[in-house]
Amino acid sequence: MSEWKKAVAQVASSVEDHYDQLKLRLRQKLGIGPVHILTYLGYGTQSTLIARGRAVADHDVTPAADNDTVWRNLLNMYRRFHTHEIPFAQVRARFGALEQTVQANEEGFFEVRFELDEPLPDGTLWHEVALELVDYADQAGAQASASVLVPPTRAQFGVISDLDDTVLRTDVLNLVKMARNTFLRNARTRLPFAGVAEFYRALQRGTQGTFNPIFYISNSPWNLYDLLVDFFEVRHIPLGPMFLTDLGLTDEYFFRREPVEHKVEHIETLLVTYPSLPFILIGDSGEADPEIYHRTVLEHPGRILTIYIRDVTPDARDAELAALRREVERAGSEMHLIADTTAAALNAVERGFILPSTLSAIAEETDEDKRAPDGLEAVLDTLSPDPPDSSS
C-alpha cells in the first residue's frame, strides 16, 4: 500500500474505532445483548500453544438444515456479516496452572500465546485452553474452550491447502455462481470438489502410521468460519486450523488485507512454527496459488515436497503455469497441474504420501461427487422463495 493510502487508512480506521467505542458504550447503557466467544481452532508445538477467537454480542446464527430455504440461508449470512463485535475486550485465558489476560483488537479478534515451562507429552493432538470475557464473567456465554492442535513429532509431513475452488466449490471465476454458492447455500448444500474428503483423509493418515496435520489458508472472511466448520463435518473432511481474513478498516488496509500478502505471511508462519516438517501445498489456478507456492519453494528450499494445483482456468493461463512448473522443478520440488482428485491421489501414491489401498475409496468418492451437482442444483431450484416468517 502506498504511503498516502496508508495514511488515509489510518485516519479512516481511527474514525471507525471512535465510532465503534461510542456504539459499544451506547449498547452497554441500553443493555448489551448476550455475549459470546467465537473460538477458532488453534495450533502449536510441544512448547507453545496459540489459541484464537473473537468476542461478539448477539450472535444468533441458526444451525444449518438440509431443507433450509434460500431466505433462511440469506438471513443467516446477514447475521454472520452484521456482527456486534466487542472491541478491545479483555480475555482471560487458562491452560493448566498458566493464566494470562489479552486484549482483543478493534474488531474483537484476539490471540493467546502460551510458552510452556515443560514440554507437552508427544502424541496428544488436541489441547483445550479455557477462555473468559473478563468484563462479562456473569453471563453464560462469556466462557468458552478453544481447541489447539499440536502435531506429533513423528508427523510425516504437513499439508497447507487453499479452500475456495480447492476443497469446496466457489466458482470464483464466475461472479453469479460465486454469489449463489456463498449466500444462497449452507453447509449442507455447498458442494465439495470431487474426492476431496477421502484424499485429505488419506493424506492425514500418510504411510507411516502417524497423524499429518492439515492447515487451511484462504481469503474467505472469518465471518464464514462456522459455515466452513459445519461443511467440513458434514462432508467428513479433516478439520484443521484455518487462517482466514478480517473484513474492515484497519491502520494497514481499507477493506481487507491484500490476498497474496495474507497467504504468504501465514505460510511463512507455519514453516517457522514447524521447522523440521516438510509440507505439501494444494491450491487452484483460479487465483494466485501457483505464484504464491512458487515463491515459497524459492524462499524455502527443501521444505516443499510437492505442489498440487487444480486446473480451473482457461488454456490461456497454461503458458504461465508451465513456466512456474519449470522453475519449481529447477528449485528441487514439483508442481502438478491436476484435472481431478484422482490424478493427485495417483501421484501421491507414487511419491509415498498415501497408501495404495486408499485409491479405490478416493476414486469411488470422486465419481459419486461428480454425479452429485445435478441433484443439488435441482434441490436449490426448488427451495421456497417465500420470505421467512417472524419466527425465523
From CA 241, how far away is CA 38, in angstroms rounded?
14
**Nearest residue to 54 (alpha-carbon basis) of 32, 80, 29:** 80
User: Which whole-number Å values give the CA distances from 263 to 65, 89, 242, in the listed order?
Assistant: 32, 27, 11
pLDDT at 377: 44
CA dihedral 21, 27, 30, 36 (to 10 degrees): -130
pLDDT of residue 260: 92
DSSP classification of residue 222: G
Q: Give strand ranges (E) for the chain.
A: 35-44, 48-57, 84-85, 90-95, 98-103, 109-115, 126-133, 143-149, 158-161, 214-221, 242-245, 279-284, 304-310, 335-338
pLDDT, position 3: 52
Report whether 200 contacts 212 (CB < 8 A).
Answer: no
CA distance 183 to 180: 5
- The DSSP 8-state label assigned to residue 45 in this structure reads -
Q: What is the rounded CA–CA span in Å between residue 36 and residue 107?
A: 14
Sign, CA torsion 321/323/326/327 = negative
Kindly calculate the radius of gyration of the chain based on its CA atoms and give it in whole angstroms. 22
Residue 17: partners with Cβ closer than 8 Å, 6 or more residues away? 87, 106
Backbone angles phi, psi at 263, to 5 degrees: -70, -40
Q: How many CA atoms lie within 13 A of 366 on its CB side?
A: 16
* Cα 221 from Cα 213, distance rounded (Å): 22
Query: Exposure pattern of 253-265 as b/e (b: 16+ CB <10 Å)?
Result: beeebeeeebbbe
Cα 18 to Cα 81, 135, 226, 247, 353: the distances in Å are 20, 20, 29, 18, 52
Distance CA 119, CA 380 (A): 50
pLDDT in tens, the chain (392 residues): 455 444 433 433 444 444 445 444 444 433 457 899 999 999 999 999 999 999 999 765 556 555 555 545 555 555 556 678 999 999 999 999 999 999 999 999 999 999 999 999 998 999 999 999 999 999 988 999 999 999 999 999 999 999 987 888 654 333 333 333 443 343 344 455 678 999 999 999 999 999 999 999 999 889 889 888 988 988 899 999 999 998 754 445 444 568 899 999 999 999 999 999 999 999 999 889 999 999 999 999 999 999 999 988 878 789 999 999 999 999 999 999 998 899 999 999 999 999 999 999 999 988 876 765 544 444 444 443 444 443 43
Sequential DSSP letters for 111-146: EEEEEPSSPPPTT--EEEEEEEEGGGTTSGGGEEEE
Which CATH architecture fits 152-392? 3-Layer(aba) Sandwich (3.40)
Look at the domain 32-150 and name its fold: Immunoglobulin-like (2.60.40)
Annotated domain spans of the chain: 32-150, 152-392
Residue bearing cell 455462481: 177
Q: What residue has cell string 484464537? A: 52
**Burial of residue 314, with CB atoms counted within 10 A of its CB: 0-12 exposed, 13-18 middle, 19 or more buried:** exposed
Which three cell numbers mark 108? Answer: 474483537
* Bridge partners of residue 84, in order along the sequence: 57
